[in-house]
A and B are shown apart, each in its own frame.
Chain A
Amino acid sequence: DAGVIQSPRHEVTEMGQEVTLRCKPISGHDYLFWYRQTMMRGLELLIYFNNNVPIDDSGMPEDRFSAKMPNASFSTLKIQPSEPRDSAVYFCASTAERYGYTFGSGTRLTVV
């Protein structure tokens, strides 16, 4: 298995632009999570899905952030419009087991 695949690995964009982060979970995993990591706030859970359905989006910072999971093998996290304070590493993770959450390699987002 290739693990959780995130793209792109790095993204540099200008303030005001739309940014889309992508995630392919491990096949058979029914939970998918989006986390954001910053020095100031650590690892924050933004939103998670169970069987493609959003369960808890209380961590999504603002309406500028949205996430979708159109099928079991794909999810997106979109920021529109982006701001410099959105600069962070965004992780996607998936799990189907009692333990063993698997993380992707992360997307390092820089908004200038």
Chain B
Amino acid sequence: AQKITQTQPGMFVQEKEAVTLDCTYDTSDQSYGLFWYKQPSSGEMIFLIYQGSYDEQNATEGRYSLNFQKARKSANLVISASQLGDSAMYFCAMREWTSNTGKLIFGQGTTLQVKP
């Protein structure tokens, strides 16, 4: 069964510094996708970045990059040059493609606070 683990309930980072949010996953599927979402205090879920299990390069989207280590089953989110607006809850999620269930399963989330 698919499982997502985020072991950092809360993180602090200084403005303009980089921060890494951890995510490990478990799946028996060979084809899967990993997602990161941001949830600010206003509550909406904002899609940030996607990594496919067969993608050879780490995904990047602006200041967001995904450090994908397949053998270790980790998909850490790296935010470069943190901004005050990055303060939010961040969720890692996974979908298994071979089973094609369509289910997107989330980790428990990490709360990030950016300090000025």
Indicate if B35 sits at the interface (CB-CB under 8 A).
yes
User: Chain B residue with minimal CB distance to A42?
Assistant: B108
Please measure, in the bound complex, the distance between the C-alpha atom of A106 and the C-alpha atom of B42, giving whole angstroms. 10
Q: Which residues of B are found within 8 Å of A106, using beta-carbon distances?
A: 43-45
Q: Which residues of A are found within 8 Å of B50, using beta-carbon distances?
A: 99-100
Counted as pairs of residues, one from A and one from B, with CB atoms less than 8 Å apart, the total is: 51
> Are A102 and B47 closer than 8 Å at their CB atoms?
yes
Main secondary structure of the interface of A (DSSP, over half): strand
Instruction: Classify chain A's interface size.
Output: 20 to 34
Q: Which residues of A are found within 8 Å of B44, using beta-carbon distances?
A: 103, 105-106
Question: Across chains A and B, which 9 residue pairs bring their CB atoms closest together, nearest first?
Answer: A103-B45, A99-B50, A43-B106, A42-B108, A31-B102, A105-B44, A106-B43, A101-B104, A99-B33
Interface residues of A (CB under 8 A from B): 31, 33, 35, 42-43, 45, 48, 50, 55-56, 89, 91, 93, 95, 98-103, 105-106, 108
